Amino acid sequence: MASYDPSKLKVTKNIGLNSVAFCVARVPNSQRLFFGSSDFKVYELDLAAEKPEPKAFNGDGHQSYVTGLALAGNTLISGSYDGRLMWWNTETKEAQRTVEAHQLWIRGVRVSPDGKRLISVADDMLGKIWNAETGELQHTLVDHKAMTPHNFPSMLFAAAFSPNGEWVATGDKVGHIAIWEVATGKKIAEVEAPGLYTWDPRQRRHSIGGIRSLCFSPDSKLLAAGGIGHIGNIDHLDGPARVEVFEWQTGKRTQEINDKQVKGLVQQIAFDPEGKWLLGAGGDNGGFATFYNLENGQQIHSEKFPMHVHQFALNESSDTLYAVGHHRVAVGEFKAA
């Protein structure tokens, strides 16, 4: 029997930060977190401590926002808007390796389920698969277009490995998703989610949406993409949280969730290990974490978070989420009684 109950989600811990935390990695079976920050640094934060305090990693580190983190054993890999990937020893907090990985801003870093591979995605519109241990570049994934259909720079925001480790998906600003074979780097499928591209052709003539989050289902058959729906006022993220779910091998969309009760970007998605629900978190000026029924797309429960959530990590029993975001770290629990 599952240890979780989505209807019970509550924020149980809330810690202020001096900066914006964009990404998080969690040490397994612990409350020890690492987060990447708007002050260009990587921090450790042990929530089990009596007075949890962020401890910065050593050295000069990155030269811009740290927007991606992945933990592979004792090695933490960070990606930044400076285009670099950095490998860190989590015990000494010293940098071990720096790789000039991308020409433009790295938007995300993900590690494969076995911890052996890493993917980085960036605004040079490339996905790159790396050996997580050696830093060797294994494949460069070329597919996403540099310009939007309206001739503005596109952005490659999201990536996710499938739980079986065979595939990796990448998603961009205009709602194009490519699915790649990890072993060969070959593209094997495409999915289109144009409802996540928020181009306003008349009122404000720009866009801020895009695919901000991707996640495969536990059986690797479904792929969920998150972002924001049609925006009434593009200045304020004033649009519904939006998630689309696909049987990616056929391209068939199985769910289209356009949640008008919750405004803002869905910055991260997670599937229920048992396949019943989907969890999306993000925000506008505020933050949210919302559960949706996978069968009918209806909202199960939504909880306000004290900050716009940029990323979260679930614990092993999928009943606690560790969220980072705008000047805060928050813990949400949804344990069954």
50-69: which residues touch another protein (CB under 8 A)?
63-65
Q: Report if residue 105 touches another protein, rule: CB under 8 A.
A: yes
Query: What are the strands of the beta sheet with 187-192, ordered from one edge?
Result: 156-161, 167-172, 176-181, 187-192
Number of residues that bind another protein (CB under 8 A): 39
Q: How many CB atoms lie within 10 A of CB 136?
A: 10
Q: Report if residue 208 touches another protein, rule: CB under 8 A.
A: yes
CB of 284 to another protein, least distance (A): 5
Q: Which residues contact 202 (CB under 8 A, 6 or more apart)?
A: none
End-to-end CA distance of the chain: 12
- Find the radius of gyration of the CA atoms of the chain: 18
CB of 236 to another protein, least distance (A): 5
CB of 116 to another protein, least distance (A): 30
Tokens 């240890």, residue located:
3
Give the interface segment with another protein, choosing from 2-10, 200-208, 245-253, 290-298 (CB under 8 A).
200-208
Residues 78 and 64 sit within 8 Å (Cβ to Cβ): no
Choice from 204, 230, 252, 260 touching another protein (CB under 8 A): 204
106 vs 224, beta carbon nearer another protein: 106
Residues 307 and 13 sit within 8 Å (Cβ to Cβ): no
| Polymer length in residues for the chain | 337
16-55: which residues touch another protein (CB under 8 A)?
19-20, 38-40
Write the binding mask 298 to 337 for another protein: x where contact by CB under 8 A, - elsewhere: ---------xx-----------------xx----------
Tokens 């396949």, residue located:
275
> Which tokens in the block code for residue 192?
């289109």
CB of 82 to another protein, least distance (A): 8
Q: Are strands 213-216 and 106-111 parallel, antiparallel or unpaired?
A: unpaired
Q: Are strands 75-80 and 84-89 parallel, antiparallel or unpaired?
A: antiparallel
Q: Report if residue 207 touches another protein, rule: CB under 8 A.
A: yes
Choice from 96, 203, 250, 298 touching another protein (CB under 8 A): 203
Concatenating the DSSP letter of every residue in 175-188 gives SEEEEEETTT--EE
Residues 79 and 59 sit within 8 Å (Cβ to Cβ): no
Give the interface segment with another protein, choosing from 4-12, 214-222, 231-239, 271-279 (CB under 8 A).
231-239
Q: Report if residue 145 touches another protein, rule: CB under 8 A.
A: no
Choice from 237, 270, 329, 330 touching another protein (CB under 8 A): 237
Interface residue list for another protein (CB under 8 A): 19-20, 38-40, 63-65, 81-82, 105, 123, 150-153, 155, 202-208, 234-238, 264, 283-287, 307-308, 326-327
